[in-house]
Chains A and B, each alone.
Chain A
Amino acid sequence: MMILRESIIMKIHYGTAIGALFLTVIHIMMRLTQDFHESLQYENVIANYESVGYAILLELLLILISVHGFNGLRVILLEMNQGPTYEKVVTIGCLAGMAALIAYGSRTIIMTNMGML
């Protein structure tokens, strides 16, 4: 298994945080381009997903927040306890959770973008 140094992982953690911050601001601003409640109507949300640019933004946001979130969870769990087996289980568990969430979210984005409803 490839092992990244913690210093590199923390740079990734901070990089994903800054990236996610910018994309989240755009994501929220999209809700405020029209009336908040109106922007969440089915037709408007479908129109958002069908825009390729916005779908790419959502996909990037999904990846950045998943990486940041599950690495944060890993750091918290490693603060609570240590040990070779425990650390391996936590790391693999967080990677698996991250991959599952990205896969599940990507499925929604891709299927909606391609009109597979």
Chain B
Amino acid sequence: MERETGAREGLKGWLNPSKIGKFGIERLAWLLMRLTGLGLLAYFIGHIYETSHILDGKAVWDKSLEMTQTTEGHLFLALVIGMCVFHTGNGIRLMIAQMGYGIGKAERPDYPYKPQSINMKGKACIYATLGMAALAMWYGMAVMFS
């Protein structure tokens, strides 16, 4: 048998909405963890580049800052805040789960084979993280638009 060397569906498999419907909120959290991680890395690289303009003097710094002082800039930063809070909250959930907390006890697999690890505690944490991300975005917008 030929060895599988890659994720068969690749990015299409990531973004297929039917997978989220089929596998539930945990699948959405899995996808958002990757998307927010990539988004935050891209933002971080941009942030490092943007802050390097401080070396070019006040005029260049002010011009560079103008980009984020628009409505679109504020909305973009609010999105970054949301990504950051979700990635942090979900990351903490995953760390706790990997330490063995909140994933239930091992037991004999009986029909209908519901995995112990996918339980209400985990789902509640994901919903709470999504809620916290929304709240943080709202607070960030309140500060930036004030």
Contact = CB atoms under 8 A, between A and B. Distances in A.
Interface stretch (B50-58, B108-116, B122-130): B50-58
Interface in B1-44: 5-7, 10-11, 34, 37-38, 40-41, 44
A108 B84 CA distance: 24
A72 B91 CA distance: 12
Contacts of A46: 54
A42 B54 contact: yes
Contacts of A49: 54
A93 interface: no
B106 interface: no
A46 B144 CA distance: 21
Contacts of A24: 84
- The residue among B37, B45, B48, B146 with the most chain A CB atoms within 10 A of its own CB is B48
Nearest to B52: A108
Contacts of B38: 73, 76
Interface string B62-75: 10010001000000
A73 B58 CA distance: 34
A5 to B, nearest CB: 16
Nearest to A104: B48
Contact of B41 (A32, A37, A73): A73
B55 A111 contact: yes
A37 B95 CA distance: 36
Contacts of A104: 48-49, 52
A14 B10 contact: no
Contacts of B65: 40
Given A66-B44, A108-B48, A108-B55, 9 more contacts: A14-B95, A32-B143, A72-B41, A76-B38, A80-B11, A83-B5, A108-B51, A108-B52, A117-B55
Interface of A: 14, 17, 21, 24, 32, 36-37, 40, 42, 45-46, 49, 62, 65-66, 69-70, 72-73, 76, 79-83, 86, 101, 104-105, 107-108, 111-112, 116-117
Interface of B: 5-7, 10-11, 34, 37-38, 40-41, 44-45, 48-49, 51-52, 54-55, 57-58, 61-62, 65, 69, 84, 88, 91, 95, 143-144, 146
7 contacts: A73-B38, A73-B41, A80-B10, A81-B7, A101-B45, A108-B48, A117-B54
Closest 5 CB pairs of A and B: A81-B6, A69-B41, A42-B58, A108-B52, A105-B48
